[in-house]
Structure 1
Amino acid sequence: MIVFRKIILSLCLFFLILPLGGCKLKGFAPVQEPVAVLPVPVKVSSAPFTEKKKAVIVCSAEFMRAARYFSYLHREFEGVKSVIVKIPATNGTAEFRAKIMSGIKAQVSELNSSGQVLSVLILGNKDVVPVAEFRSQNGTVIHFSDYGYGGAVAGSEKMVPVGRIPARSGEEAELVAAKYERWYEDRAFRPAWPVSFIGGEGFSGDYLSDPELLFFSLQQEGIAGPEAIRYLGAAGGCEPKRLRQSFAEDDVSVQWLALEAGPAGFKVGNGTLTVTEIMDLDYKPGLPVVLNPSCEAALLNSSMPTPAEAIVLSQGAGLAVMTGCSSSGRIRAELDGGRVYRVDSSGTHRLLLEFHKAYFGGKHRIAEALTEARAQFAQNRREGEDLTPLYDLIFYGDPVMSLPLPVRTESPAYLGLVTVGKSEKSSGIAVFPVNSTISFAMEEGGIYPAVRLQVIDRLNGKIVSSMKVQEDDVFNFSADGEGRYLIYSRPLDGPLAWQFFDVRKGGAAETAAAGTDSIKLKKASPRITAGLKPVRYAIQVSSNRKEDSAIKVRRKLSVQGYEAYVVKVASANNRKWYCVRFGEFDSWADAVEASAEYERKEQADVKIVRCNRGS
């Protein structure tokens, strides 16, 4: 009986264990070795070398794959041979960083002993590869800039251009290289792009923002034509939403941007395009180069890149950034009767303009344009101006890159609308009394048939009036309170123009006495009245200081069959002129025909002038 029970117990245990043997018990399954993921090999180019000079790439071991990637791009798309200079990873001590800096300088100088280096590309942000430390040419000032890696400071205009990919890791640097490769492939289908600027923080005081004045300077040089304009300044609809849209869409017209950086991002209109928004942008073919006339902004968060760094690191923001420090120069507008007729620049602003001019002059490779810009800046220095802008210029991007051929557009000059009637002036700004009718019209006999204008409140950047003005129109503007305004006008196929004017209760005398920045407006939101009135033209036969002389001329014309009349016109010094005129014509063409007939018949010269109906 006992034996039988043992047999039964053994069978039960056997059948109990049998189903368990066919299951995988958690924790007892056989451990499999992980499959090693091999990195994708870096491409190797077999393209011929077409450039005599070579590029130097500086990197640590972590960035070696990225260095080989950029070396591939240099040969495949630029025909440039690259030499990779490997440096040790920094341990953070000042002594070790100084050793790395001196080592990079020594190797670049040795490679460039016979002038065979085209440019230097540093891979990694400032924590990975320290910024060079060097003394200025006179040895009195210490500078911290990648410029110091370009060779001997004694020959500033001969320094090798240095660029940096401010990546935080080797993987991030490879992503930037991949962005460049996509851009190179897209570039083949877009050999020529027009220039485009999106900039302008808004309007304040009596000046335009630096990006807008950069554009105005290039426009004066014939470099930026009418089709180059997109969202220029607050009046042009410049706002973060528009900028994101242009970045995100396949819009190849956006090639150059002039933007000012702040700690949180780039100032756009009255808003900010933040670093986070820049980093989230997706790739699109028409990537721009950004000119930033302000200082590189300080970091709000050390884990995030600066706004300038974000432009290059983002997959959809831009190819390169040039920035410096606004304390090394300035750019300002000179006004005449409220019209911007000249822009004066110095320091970083002028260096950026020189770069742009060099590119349009045929230096399509960034390194060559930078070299030319430096040489022109050093050669054309003004009295008291030093080379600090050269030393402080920061370039994020690859200097080996060649940009597409530019489209240079030149349009006939356009300085803005003409003031019809007398205005006072204060610091170059036209000043008109409160409740007066301020009239503007196009130049008599000009080549542009019409302009589109906007009137902007300079204190808040809001558009208070917008319309199209044709050659036979007068634009009338009136405000029942004090204010500061800007007319932003552009012919349909011509360049932009800006005109400043103030409306003051006390006129220009009060403005000059108080100073433009200290005047407090007596009415926060004046009521604006604006509209068009048809222009009338008259034929002016003579202008006389004495009324009796004018009356004699009028009588003579009446005898000859002309319906002549005398008009009193005040001059700039408040002395009256008595002008003898005849006719009131609805169009300039009719007035030209009448004046030609008079000159043929009477053998005397006359002048076509604007007039008001019934004058």
Structure 2
Amino acid sequence: MQVLRRFFPVVLLTVLCICSGCKIKGMGGAAPAPVVPVPVEVKTSSAPVTEEKKNVIVCTADLMRAAEYFRYLHREYEGVASIIIRTPSSNGTAESDSRTSAAIMESLGKLNKDGSLMSVLILGNSTDVPRAVFFTGNGTVRHVSDYAYGGVSSAPENVLPVGRIPARSAEEAEAVAAKFERWYKDRAFRPAWPVSFVGGNGFGSKGLSDPELLFFNLQQEGMAGPEAIRYLGSAGGCEPERLRQSLAEDDVSVQWLAVDAEQDGFRAGNGSMAVSEIMGLDYKPGLPVVLIPSGGPDLSIFTGLSPAQAIVLSPGAGLAAMTGSSDASGINVELDEGRVTRVDSSGTARLLMEFHKAYFGGRHRIGEALSEARAQFVENAGKDADSSPMINLLFYGDPVMSLPLPVRTESPAYTGLSPVTKPATKNGVAVFPVNATISFAMEEGGVYPAVKLHVIDRSTGKTVSAMKVGEDDIFNFSADGEGSYLIYSRPLDGPLAWQFFDVRRNPSKKGAVAEKSGVKGRKDPRITAGLKPVLYTVQVSSNRRQESADKLISRLNGQGYDAYVVEVAEAGRRKWYCVRFGRFDSWSAAVEASAAYERKEQADAKIVRCNGGS
């Protein structure tokens, strides 16, 4: 008996090829010959197999019933046949983990030697089914990741997508399968839901969080029109309660969710939603796929479930979660006169971008979208680019699952309000003087009739002004002290825009605002904001020399035009002296006056907005 106890753990792997009727021989070396397990009585599907390639499910003996359940779902709802590989649990030592993962990789390699597999689903947490141990960089860089279960290849599109259901027990694994089945049944009765993003952890020096910038990146690349996306980030007033509402209520349309994770939960606004709250959510038809641009694959920091794991294991949180290494992700933003004009992403954030683009491009199966995202990631970054975002990406969910395409509409571009008052600097955050009247208006000749506007104090996250701005309005803002602000605006049927501006006592001085709102013992700046009607004027000349402008004004006034000059300063350059005449309260009146001037003077003119005396 002692001999049996000593050598029983040597049995490493059993392979059950139920759907295809095949058996896999021993792994060689330390791996023993496989044993065919006794079939478990669960649901069986008679649905036709419509996909040529097969999926593989890897599990331990106590999760065999759950594996059969997932195999049923694959055939019944996806037309995919699945093979089940049964492996003994690791005992938790590094040697056992390495031996077990090597045996699984060898089995998968044999099954896929003819390219007949589409994906791999692992059932169980990494304690029972360890992550694969493998090396890159000519054997110099060690990795521990599920990525290698898809095969190690120089071409990432040839690596099978691998998903994991991080169940801690057989009951938990079967509960996830039951959740997926319920979702499949509800899918036929749902409308095509829009994409929704919730992101942000309050405001600081960056102003926007990675999920918010990921959202803007998607919008910039045409991945979401106004009917296909809703923004619930911190700039839109998102707080933990808003996130709870979005995840808990049946009537909230959520399909994609982008959030920042921390050890105990998800950040939202200046608070968080705890893992315990996520696990307590009830089922609802609108279960999202959660994208976490920066999370961290080292799960040792979590004393219990990570937020990403909780998304999948919760009865009502979500269908899948993707996250990666915090040091393998980057999102950079470019500003022009304070307006966000371009967002560039790299690392994990870029990979998630490509995943979303592949899905919108028609790859509705999660595994297929992930494979295409990898290929596109390498194509854009180059073959010599850092592969760690792909290796370290954690995918909790079923790669076989297909998701319906949400509504997607195209919409004209919108980059924010145009600053009528020119800032002291063109690039980066716009800077204006204290007590100055700072004016913004909608773009001339734009397609949107109005926008909903919020001005937010970036140091506190509080909205200091909110109103609707029409195409014939000028929005004026003034502060009697220094501060940093964000304008968050959106047309009623168009995309979002963000604009950053600072109010400073010395606008030409570089660096952060000296006086910060919310500091104890200091009063916040007094804010004055409101609308006034747009006035239009006809501009007939722009001169570098004031003398030339004065001569033209004198001539035009002699002809009855009521001309005047406006000085427009360029950052780091001399002034322009713009000659204009008239102040009209409607665009049509300005057009009529401009046309009359061009006919009479045989000279060009253009219509511009004016603010007060300018």
TM-score by length of 2: 0.88
Q: Partner of 2:512 in structure 1?
A: 516
Specify the SS of the correspondent of 2:285.
coil
Q: Partner of 2:292 in structure 1?
A: 292
Is the Cα contact below 8 Å between 1:445 and 1:588 reproduced in 2?
Answer: no
Instruction: Read off the aligned partner of 1:54 and give its amino acid letter.
Output: K
Cα distance in 1 between the residues matched to 2:243 and 2:109: 41
5+ residue gaps, structure 2: 1-38
Q: Partner of 1:10 in structure 2?
A: none
Is the Cα contact below 8 Å between 1:478 and 1:530 reproduced in 2?
Answer: yes
Q: Partner of 1:86 in structure 2?
A: 86
Instruction: Read off the aligned partner of 2:512 and give its amino acid letter.
Output: T
Distance 1:566-1:95 versus aligned 2 partners, 3 A rule: closer
Instruction: Read off the aligned partner of 1:581 and give its amino acid letter.
Output: R
Cα distance in 1 between the residues matched to 2:549 and 2:91: 90
1:535 Cα shift? 1.4
1:99 Cα shift? 2.1
Q: Partner of 1:312 in structure 2?
A: 312
Distance 1:384-1:324 versus aligned 2 partners, 3 A rule: same
What does 1:152-551 correspond to in 2, within 5 Å? 152-190=152-190, 192-251=192-251, 253-296=253-296, 298=299, 302=303, 304-381=304-381, 385-425=385-425, 428-509=428-509, 512=510, 515-516=511-512, 523=522, 525-551=524-550
Distance 1:52-1:191 versus aligned 2 partners, 3 A rule: farther
Distance 1:88-1:574 versus aligned 2 partners, 3 A rule: closer
Is the Cα contact below 8 Å between 2:279 and 2:313 reproduced in 1?
Answer: yes
1:222 Cα shift? 1.0
1:377 Cα shift? 1.1
Cα distance in 2 between the residues matched to 1:479 and 1:544: 32
5+ residue gaps, structure 1: 1-38
Cα distance in 2 between the residues matched to 1:227 and 1:453: 19
Q: Partner of 1:611 in structure 2?
A: 610
Judge which range, 163-172 or 414-423, deviates more.
Answer: 414-423
Cα distance in 2 between the residues matched to 1:383 and 1:559: 70
Is the Cα contact below 8 Å between 1:474 and 1:534 reproduced in 2?
Answer: yes
Is the Cα contact below 8 Å between 2:482 and 2:515 reproduced in 1?
Answer: no
Specify the SS of the correspondent of 2:198.
strand
Distance 1:592-1:251 versus aligned 2 partners, 3 A rule: farther
Judge which range, 81-90 or 581-590, deviates more.
Answer: 581-590
Judge which range, 485-494 or 568-577, deviates more.
Answer: 568-577
1:602 Cα shift? 4.2
Is the Cα contact below 8 Å between 1:355 and 1:369 reproduced in 2?
Answer: yes
Q: Identical aligned pairs, as a percentage? A: 68
Cα distance in 1 between the residues matched to 2:595 and 2:330: 50
1:439 Cα shift? 1.2
Q: Partner of 2:16 in structure 1?
A: none
Cα distance in 2 between the residues matched to 1:61 and 1:579: 81
Instruction: Read off the aligned partner of 1:606 and give its amino acid letter.
Output: A
Cα distance in 2 between the residues matched to 1:113 and 1:345: 36
Do structure 1's residue 582 and structure 2's residue 581 form an aligned pair? Answer: yes
1:93 Cα shift? 3.2
When the two chains are superposed, the root-mean-square deviation of aligned CA atoms in Å is 2.3
Cα distance in 1 between the residues matched to 2:478 and 2:442: 18
Q: Partner of 2:4 in structure 1?
A: none
Distance 1:546-1:234 versus aligned 2 partners, 3 A rule: same
Do structure 1's residue 564 and structure 2's residue 563 form an aligned pair? Answer: yes
Is the Cα contact below 8 Å between 1:252 and 1:285 reproduced in 2?
Answer: no
1:281 Cα shift? 0.3
Q: Partner of 1:13 in structure 2?
A: none
Cα distance in 2 between the residues matched to 1:602 and 1:531: 38
Is the Cα contact below 8 Å between 2:378 and 2:385 reproduced in 1?
Answer: no
Is the Cα contact below 8 Å between 1:137 and 1:153 reproduced in 2?
Answer: no
Judge which range, 493-502 or 416-425, deviates more.
Answer: 416-425
> Which structure has the larger Rg over C-alpha atoms?
1
Distance 1:506-1:545 versus aligned 2 partners, 3 A rule: closer
Is the Cα contact below 8 Å between 1:206 and 1:500 reproduced in 2?
Answer: no
Instruction: Read off the aligned partner of 1:320 and give its amino acid letter.
Output: A
Is the Cα contact below 8 Å between 2:55 and 2:400 reproduced in 1?
Answer: yes
What does 1:66-85 correspond to in 2, within 5 Å? 66-85=66-85
Cα distance in 2 between the residues matched to 1:141 and 1:517: 44
Cα distance in 1 between the residues matched to 2:43 and 2:86: 20
Is the Cα contact below 8 Å between 1:336 and 1:429 reproduced in 2?
Answer: yes
Specify the SS of the correspondent of 1:114.
coil
Specify the SS of the correspondent of 2:227.
helix
Cα distance in 2 between the residues matched to 1:418 and 1:426: 12
Cα distance in 2 between the residues matched to 1:532 and 1:110: 70
Instruction: Read off the aligned partner of 2:526 and give its amino acid letter.
Output: R
Q: Partner of 1:3 in structure 2?
A: none
1:315 Cα shift? 1.0
Cα distance in 2 between the residues matched to 1:138 and 1:525: 59
1:600 Cα shift? 4.3
Cα distance in 2 between the residues matched to 1:560 and 1:434: 40
Specify the SS of the correspondent of 2:381.
coil
Specify the SS of the correspondent of 1:192.
coil
1:406 Cα shift? 3.4
What does 1:105-124 correspond to in 2, within 5 Å? 105-124=105-124
Cα distance in 2 between the residues matched to 1:57 and 1:556: 86
Instruction: Read off the aligned partner of 2:507 and give its amino acid letter.
Output: G
Instruction: Read off the aligned partner of 2:225 and give its amino acid letter.
Output: G
Judge which range, 283-292 or 381-390, deviates more.
Answer: 381-390
Post-superposition Cα deviations, 1:170-191, rounded to whole Å, max 9, x if no partner, equal: 1100100011011111111236
Cα distance in 1 between the residues matched to 2:514 and 2:87: 56
Instruction: Read off the aligned partner of 2:574 and give its amino acid letter.
Output: R
Judge which range, 229-238 or 253-262, deviates more.
Answer: 229-238
Distance 1:173-1:484 versus aligned 2 partners, 3 A rule: same
Distance 1:115-1:517 versus aligned 2 partners, 3 A rule: farther
Distance 1:52-1:285 versus aligned 2 partners, 3 A rule: same
1:575 Cα shift? 3.1
1:614 Cα shift? 4.8
Cα distance in 1 between the residues matched to 2:456 and 2:299: 32
Instruction: Read off the aligned partner of 1:227 and give its amino acid letter.
Output: E
Give aligned pairs, total.
572
1:572 Cα shift? 3.7
Cα distance in 2 between the residues matched to 1:467 and 1:605: 37
Is the Cα contact below 8 Å between 1:429 and 1:501 reproduced in 2?
Answer: yes
1:485 Cα shift? 0.8
Instruction: Read off the aligned partner of 1:516 and give its amino acid letter.
Output: A
What does 1:29-48 correspond to in 2, within 5 Å? 41-48=41-48
Is the Cα contact below 8 Å between 1:329 and 1:347 reproduced in 2?
Answer: yes
Post-superposition Cα deviations, 1:269-301, rounded to whole Å, max 9, x if no partner, equal: 111010000000001001100000122474676
Instruction: Read off the aligned partner of 2:288 and give its amino acid letter.
Output: P
Cα distance in 2 between the residues matched to 1:589 and 1:124: 69
Is the Cα contact below 8 Å between 2:538 and 2:580 reproduced in 1?
Answer: yes
Specify the SS of the correspondent of 1:581.
strand
Specify the SS of the correspondent of 1:406.
coil
Post-superposition Cα deviations, 1:13-44, rounded to whole Å, max 9, x if no partner, equal: xxxxxxxxxxxxxxxxxxxxxxxxxx995211
1:166 Cα shift? 0.4
Instruction: Read off the aligned partner of 1:248 and give its amino acid letter.
Output: A
